[in-house]
A = this chain, B = another copy of it.
Amino acid sequence: MRYSTIFPKTLKMAPSGAESINHQLLARGGFIDQLMAGSWTLLPLGLRVVSKINQIIRQELNSTGAWEAQLPLLHPKEIWSRSGRWDDPAVAEIMYRLKDRSEREYCLSFTHEEIVMDLLGKYNLSYKDLPIKIYQFSTKFRNELRAKSGILRGREFLMKDLYSAHVSLEDLEVYFAQVREAYLKIFTRMDLETRVVNASGGVFTEHFTQEFQVECDAGEDMVLFCEKCDFAANVEVIKSNNCPECSGLLKEVKTVEVGHIFTLGTKYAANMNVNFTDETGNKKPLWFASYGIGVSRLLGVLVEKFHDERGIIWPESVAPFKTHLIGLDLENEEIKAQAEKVYQLLSADGVEVLYDDRVGLSAGEKFSDADLIGVPYRLVVSKRTHDQIEVKKRADKNTNFMSVTELLEQIR
């Protein structure tokens, strides 16, 4: 894609009021724009990163046998009343509610347990239809009083939510463990180290839940991490300075929750009267679980973790492009033709190229844009490179000269 055609270009200064690093760098790089507190436009570069994140999640969830779907965002009061959550003050406070022209009441998607349960209830399910595993990438709304920390906390944000329904707690637990492993794989694929913390399910459940926490100074959670093993726990739970598993020292760290998985038991099914027929012909309530990943939040966490003073350093798996081709001296027709040729050759080979084809900018301006945007491989074609390319990895200092063929061999 040609950088000359993209909107917007980079900004020299972060927007006023952008206090967090993720907001500053994502806004300056042209990844996001703040519509209002807690609400963000994904600009073309930002959407590309989110699409990469979603594709990683999709692959790992598909391999657990889950199917992708898409559920509505405007929910009738009636369905939320059936679970009892419409009248839960803690939920009511944080839900956006509205009425239509006929004075019927709705809420905006706060989460989708009720809508999935209502859907399952329409299909006269038998044990043969179970387990059911459905997920979506969707927008969630939270009527937060304050929304700070950049894109880490939103009033309107993107979430992947998965729901599973089972014949028994045992069956649920098997799948729950499978999703837990899938989550760890998902985060590892984006170079994020997460620790699993047992937590309270808040307005979702009285059962066992697990949070996936990433150490991050911009985070709003405080968690105890063991310095010797993988153990982690909520500050409230542990009284000692030592790890209960390996006796290593526990340190208190700031974290961001990037995922949360909930055992929901049979409460939703019982409240909403959603049953399946078991092998003996009896009706039984479904065992239910839900599993969330904060997708727009991940965009922010990745920037908080992977940046330097010059800009973002995207992990390759989620970078908006694999290569950032910079054409210098493009006023010279021969060099321009050479840069175009490299662009075409790489593209034809399936390599994603962001091609800075702008004429009249200095090398310094183009290099600092590339550092800010943070694509893994910076490629330069200029009057100095002849029929070669100057290659530099965003995270490295040294540059190398190589042919297109050599480059393709290296990055394939």
Contact = CB atoms under 8 A, between A and B. Distances in A.
A141 B96 CA distance: 15
A74 B129 contact: no
A103 B288 CA distance: 36
Given A72-B156, A100-B143, 17 more contacts: A5-B65, A7-B133, A35-B72, A35-B115, A35-B118, A41-B71, A41-B119, A42-B70, A44-B134, A47-B69, A73-B156, A74-B96, A74-B155, A93-B101, A96-B98, A98-B108, A100-B155
A239 interface: no
A11 to B, nearest CB: 8
A141 B67 contact: no
Contacts of A5: 65, 67, 133
Question: A42, A46, A72, A108 — which one has the most chain B CB atoms within 10 A of its CB?
Answer: A72
A33 B119 contact: yes
Contacts of A8: 123, 129
Question: A7, A119, A129 — which one has the most chain B CB atoms within 10 A of its CB?
Answer: A7
Interface string A64-89: 01011111111110000000000000
Contacts of A47: 68-70
Contacts of A15: 122
Given A73-B73, A108-B74, A139-B139, A7 B42 contact: no
Contacts of A1: 67
B122 A33 contact: yes
A326 B218 CA distance: 53
A385 interface: no
Interface in A38-63: 39-44, 46-47, 50
Question: A5, A46, A93 — which one has the most chain B CB atoms within 10 A of its CB?
Answer: A5
A251 interface: no
A177 interface: no
Interface in A1-42: 1, 5-9, 15, 33, 35-36, 39-42
A145 interface: yes
Nearest to A9: B129
Contact of A39 (B42, B72, B123, B145): B72
A113 B78 CA distance: 33
Nearest to A94: B101
Contacts of A50: 70
A141 B35 contact: no
Contacts of A180: none
A79 to B, nearest CB: 8
A42 B69 contact: yes
A156 B141 CA distance: 16
A90 interface: no
Given A101-B143, A119-B41, A132 B73 contact: no
A76 B155 CA distance: 12
A299 B143 CA distance: 33
Question: A35, A120, A155 — which one has the most chain B CB atoms within 10 A of its CB?
Answer: A35
A23 to B, nearest CB: 14
A383 interface: no
B96 A129 contact: no
A97 interface: yes
B67 A6 contact: yes
A353 B42 CA distance: 33
A358 to B, nearest CB: 9
Nearest to A157: B72
Contacts of A108: 74, 98, 108
Interface in A115-137: 115, 118-120, 122-123, 129, 132-134
A129 B10 CA distance: 12
